A and B are shown apart, each in its own frame.
Chain A
Amino acid sequence: MSGTQALDIKNKEFMLVGGLLLIVAALMAFFPYMSSGDSEVDWISLPLVGFPIIVSCILLAFASQESRSRKEVIAVPIRLFTLAASLIPLAISTSLFFDWLIAVDWNLGYNEYALEKEYIWIETIGVSWHVGMDGLSFPMVWLTTFLIPVTIVTTWNEKDGATYHPLLLMMGGALIGVFVALDLFLFYVFWELTLIPMFFLILKWGGKDRRYASQKFFIYTFAASVIMLLGLITLYFLQPEGSGPRYGTVTNRTFDMRVLFTNALAANEGDGVFLGKDMQNILFAMLMLGFLVKLPAVPFHTWLPDAHVQAPTGGSMLLAGVMLKMGAYGMLRLPVALFPDALIFYQDIIMAIGLISLVWGAIVCLGQTNLKRMVAYSSVSHMGIILLGIASMQPIGYAAALFMMFAHGIISPMLFAVCGAFKHHYHSMEIGAMRGMAKWSPYLAVYMMFAWMASLGLPLLAGFVAELMLMIAYWHTYGWWILLPGFVLAITAAYYLWSMQRTIFEGGDEGQPPESLNGETPPDITTSENIGMIILAFFTILFGIFPFIALDMMGQWTHELFLTVFEGGGI
């Protein structure tokens, strides 16, 4: 690289970073205060949702103008900038979590939201940009803001970082949008928006069969969400007409969720049934289908292993960490809360699907030879726990489901980070291709053991509390069926320990390096991977020892849900 070019690049970096910082500062300074009348600051719309998406769009637009060789050079400042940008939502959500700096009251009743904001968007059909957070969505929002910087750090050296890291940031903004949306239309927009960055992440940075996997991922989940969309539109038209700023001038109906919940609550009260029993059952099934595919539940799960195995490490971390929880979140937000009578009608079916996911996922795990595929199936298995929690119809079971969403959101990125580092350094994912990893990669071995142990529910790590609460709720509702989840606890230990025995352990005094390295000494993990995994491990321990940090909020939400929707709805 010649001198002039280097100078040129420095100027460019400077302009890039400086210019973007200016834009961001302007956005941050002005937009939060442009709220509708009242003086409260809008901490959600721009800082949490808009900012990551806008910044990533700018960066992508900028990077796409550059030639291939220049892209590599500007990757460094772009990476740094993406990381810095991702820390802003994290700072905001963390201060919201503990009620520092930004005043927020998490003591919310049902259908009450913190930091709620509403702007009219499409007047004719009653769409508004309506956002807010409660005990159900906020932990997921925090989780997303937390995972984005961690993912960026962990996959710091991913090739073509000029576009890779901004895509991760965009993914984060879209995911947060799903969780904060309080408008069905907005919810669906963000729901589908999350597909786009993930599609490109798999397509561009994926493995050998990335084309097939990305298309399967896109079409499979899209097809399911179309059914969900039909359900949402039906719901929209079946609601009573009304007038007011939220209602469409042409349709006289609204997509607003808050109104929807109020209507449903009033109609469900006592012996009443919102929209009638049959319609409830139909709509419940339509919405659930979309969410079950996303979760994913057996038998709609086969897109997940393909997507995971092909996806790059960062994609997998976000996919398993947050994207799967969109399904669980959607269930609890819409069908469960809107149609309690249908929930009772389908209770045993949900339990059966959850149980099948749990058992089948675990058994298939044991039969895998590919490390990442095994971890992917373990996600299917763990997501079954959420369905069991919903079917248990006890607040403790719902709290278990919520905490499982959260805990799995920290543990599973670590699982995939370990798999990614494994693949990155050994160029192989086959279990048993190398033995004695503890010899040459002590750090990776420790992280692997830690993540595996966390995933199999070791006490004082995040997953345990959820499993314990689930077992309690499950015994109450389904009695001796508890032997099957119990069996899964043992099988989970079996596949994790068996895979560790054949990777970390064994190998004799010299170890047995993978053949794919052609006799080179296997390296240990890089500093960035190390940092990312230490952070994930730290939070796994933190929420394992102090689960109440997140659980209090979730418990409050389940309490209100049960009191208002189920008890009030005459269930």
Chain B
Amino acid sequence: MSESGIIDYAVLIPLLPMLAFPVILFLGRIFNGTPTWVKNLKEGGIIALTVMGASLLLALAVIKEHMNSIGATNVFTWFETHWWEVDGALTDRVFGVGIYIDHLTVMLLFVAAFLCFLINIFSIGYMNTDPINDNRNHRFYAEFVLFCSGMLGMVLADSFLWLFIFWELMGLCSYLLIGFYYERPSAAYAAKKAFLTTRVGDVFLVIGLAMLWNMFGSLDYAVVFDPVEIAKVSSSELQIALGMMFIGAVGKSAQFPLHVWLPDAMEGPTPVSALIHAATMVNAGLYLVARMFPFFQAADIGSLSTLAIIIACIGGITAVMAALIAFVQMDLKKVLAYSTMSQLAYIFTGLGCALWFANNGYEELATFALGASLFHLFNHAMAKGMLFMASGSVIHEMHHAHHEVAHHEHDDDHHDDHHDDHHDDFDAQSMANMGGLANKMPITATAMFVGSMSIIGIPFIGGFWSKEGIIASAWKVALKEPVFLFPAMLVLIGAGMTGFYMSRMWFMTFAGKPKTDVAKHVHEQTPWIPIPLVVLTFMTLSAFILAGMHAGAWLGDYQSGHYSNFFSGVGEELQYVFLNDDPFLMVLTYVTIGLSFILGPSFAMALYGGSLDDDDEAKPWMQWAIDLSARVNKNSNFDNSAWANSSLAYSLEKRLHFDDWYDAAMLKIVVGFAYISAKFDKNVIDGVIKTIESTSQAASAKLRTLTTGSARDYIMMTALGTLAIFLLLWGVA
């Protein structure tokens, strides 16, 4: 299955950034600090941008060519080994490498290449204007492009083996970039935690791959997705193998119970949080699960429903748990981190539904659920990338403003050391220090506004279309399989919770009076940063186009060709959502909207709403929300201090104690046992050797005393010896 065309050059998409990695690193090492490097090349940022631009263009060309067709290059042999069959024959087993493109690849390729490019633009604004990054930005851009290479490679790979290879490469970059500020103990800790937690998942993924290989004799998609091959394997074994691989996905996508690393990963610079920990790498787990679809779809396979149910349940649990924790977070980025976790969980639930449908023979429903899940992945990546960049913009300007304020206050102490900013107690990320920024940062506030609406699922905007699809799918399964009531209920409740915590975040940051002096002095002034925000705002707002194109159906099954008529597509979609023939689904839609659009935001407004300073006026598309929130806030007089002081709130602030337990388990049990083992190794295993040694030394010391030097003793011994020999000979005879 190979054709020539642009796909032959697709290998360059990951290869270009990979080659840029050493280039930026070495050039940075050599030219660090020189004016050309800093001003013209933005400490490597321009090189990275060029490369990512080239990758994006190539990716777009590939996408255009393979919008409705599966493409694959020739498989090259990476290495070869043999297998000893039961009948005694030795057969060749090839580990190949190649490129495979289908609808799933196309979608993720676009998300990855597009966001890598945009976030690169953002980075140039964000990283190069912060004095703390002086002389180390080349390291940032080098690791950044290496990460992009990993993400693009993973999407394009034609086997689970290379998927895993690039998956680990991303893990490495994630580790390096979280620990970018290596001198901070918190960053070092967070980096280690992220790598180790995902590594636990990866171990199971490797085991799953080993099992899969033993079933199929290969990990290439072309082999394992062949229905003839799938028909030969036992479904229970396959289910276990896929389940093992799913644990890897749980680790990478930060799902319960391996979710603990993601909030800490916010220690990395904000562009890293936007790219790796919101928009791309965390989607790798979803991609892996979506890749399993053909196994479930295969006609001759037995029941794999248990795994589908587990996937959906993990999703449901995480969705609600993360949303709950997000209620109480004060750190802007941490709220977004938990939101990411929660939204990824939605997608897992949707994928669980799709897999269940596929496995039980409901082709059309499966296609719909898969499409909705992937569409949500798309919407979430766009919106969350934007939200993180916007939060970065806020934090960046807060830093600037703080510096200005501090500078004014201590005009006579010559503060030329910029690093002082980071020593004092002021927390530029805490929402408690913000408030009323809507008019001071109009672009950022708009981006946050639109992004939040997309995540909440406000009708017609971005995530609304896809989230409806996921919730509807979950309930459709629940009608057929009662166990699914659990995740279905959870995602429905989660929708309302999302409405609350996202609104809370927006109102705390942008509405109300400025809570600190610093917040009063914030301006939107850094170049480069607004560009991606504006682009993504339009991207999110125009998601209805994709919805109109029946993104769900297209992504799930590109062959159906629904997207031919755009207007009828939008009409159908609207009718499907709001005036469904099935009264159950119609009611469900309005319940969801009621929870996410009315109930959640209302509570948030009641608690955190408020008008801006008197002479300030936000842009009209936000002003109404601020006015409304002020009114709700005034009229409700809602007092939540009882909740805020409850033990539930305390344990939510403690992230439900998972981190404490894991730390304790690691430090007390594993490391404790390791120390005991090291002692045992030294004292007992080596002790035995030492005992042999000392015994033989003692024995030789004893024997040495026989050498007295006295002739009488020697004659005596000779006589005794001779006698002994005679006795021996006599005895033998």
Interface residues of A (CB under 8 A from B): 216, 220, 298-299, 301-303, 360, 363-368, 393-396, 399, 436, 438-439, 453, 458-460, 464-465, 467-469, 471-472, 474-476, 482-483, 486-487, 489-491, 493-494, 497-498, 500-501, 504-509, 511, 547-548, 551-552, 555, 558-559, 562-563, 566-567
Contacts and interface: CB of A to CB of B under 8 A. Distances in A.
B200 interface: yes
A523 to B, nearest CB: 18
A486 B244 CA distance: 12
Contact of B199 (A299, A399, A490, A500): A490
A506 B185 contact: yes
Nearest to B77: A548
Contacts of B311: none
B206 to A, nearest CB: 6
A394 B671 contact: no
A367 B78 contact: no
B210 interface: yes
A399 B166 CA distance: 23
B195 A552 contact: no
B81 A555 contact: yes
A482 B210 contact: yes
A482 B203 CA distance: 10
Contact of A436 (B81, B183, B675): B183
Contact of A395 (B83, B182, B213, B686): B83
A472 B90 contact: no
A364 B184 CA distance: 28
Interface string B181-199: 0111101110110011001
B165 A438 contact: no
B81 A399 contact: yes
Contact of A396 (B81, B195, B202): B81
23 contacts: A216-B693, A299-B688, A363-B677, A365-B674, A367-B671, A394-B84, A438-B183, A459-B169, A464-B165, A467-B206, A472-B209, A483-B207, A486-B206, A486-B207, A490-B203, A501-B189, A505-B182, A506-B183, A506-B185, A508-B185, A509-B419, A558-B81, A567-B88
A473 to B, nearest CB: 9
Contacts of B185: 505-506, 508
A547 B161 CA distance: 15
Contacts of A487: 203
A459 B679 CA distance: 33
Contact of B681 (A364, A498, A504): A364
A429 to B, nearest CB: 15
Contact of A471 (B82, B179, B210): B210
Given A302-B689, A368-B678, A555-B80, 15 more contacts: A216-B689, A220-B689, A301-B685, A364-B674, A366-B671, A367-B679, A396-B93, A453-B172, A472-B213, A483-B207, A489-B202, A497-B195, A505-B179, A506-B183, A509-B419
B83 A394 contact: yes
B719 interface: no
Contacts of B661: none
A106 B38 CA distance: 53
B195 A366 contact: no
B82 A438 contact: no
Interface in B24-60: none
Contacts of B83: 394-396
B415 to A, nearest CB: 16
A548 B192 contact: no
Contacts of B88: 567
B77 A493 contact: no
B172 A468 contact: no
B90 A567 contact: yes
A558 B179 CA distance: 43
A475 B161 CA distance: 16
Interface in B671-702: 671, 673-679, 681, 685-686, 688-689, 693
B696 to A, nearest CB: 10
Contacts of B419: 509
A302 B187 contact: no
Nearest to B203: A486
A471 B78 contact: no
A395 B169 contact: no
B261 to A, nearest CB: 12
Contacts of A363: 673-674, 677
Q: Looking at A396, A438, A505, A563, which has the most chain B CB atoms within 10 Å of its CB?
A: A505
A547 B97 CA distance: 13
Nearest to A545: B78
B560 interface: no
Nearest to B213: A472
B183 A302 contact: no
Contacts of B209: 468, 471-472
A489 B203 contact: yes
Nearest to A436: B183
Contacts of A509: 183, 419
Q: Looking at A303, A367, A487, which has the most chain B CB atoms within 10 Å of its CB?
A: A367
Interface in B463-488: none
Contacts of B78: 547-548
Contacts of B188: 501, 505-506
A299 B79 contact: no
Contacts of B693: 216
Nearest to B671: A366
Given A396-B93, A509-B183, A552 B671 contact: no
Nearest to A568: B88
B507 interface: no
A395 B82 contact: yes
A234 to B, nearest CB: 25
Contacts of B168: 458-459
Contacts of A396: 81-83, 93
A368 B679 CA distance: 9
Given A367-B675, A506-B183, A511-B183, A465 B79 contact: yes
Given A360-B677, A490-B203, A493-B195, A548 B183 contact: no
B211 interface: yes
A396 B79 CA distance: 11
Sorted nearest first, the 3 A-B pairs with minimum C-beta distance are: A367-B678, A505-B188, A367-B674
A319 B206 CA distance: 31
Interface in B127-161: 161
B681 A436 contact: no
A458 B202 CA distance: 11
Given A460-B165, A475-B210, A562 B82 contact: yes
B674 A395 contact: no
A216 B656 CA distance: 52
B89 to A, nearest CB: 8
Contact of A507 (B183, B681, B686): B183
A122 to B, nearest CB: 33
A102 B206 CA distance: 41
Contacts of A360: 677, 681
Contacts of A559: 82, 90
B210 A474 contact: yes
B192 A366 contact: no
Contacts of A552: 79-80
B183 A508 contact: yes
A500 B671 CA distance: 16
B84 to A, nearest CB: 6
Contacts of B207: 471, 475, 482-483, 486
Given A460-B169, A506-B188, A558 B199 contact: no
B196 A490 contact: yes
B196 A497 contact: yes
B506 interface: no
B567 to A, nearest CB: 48
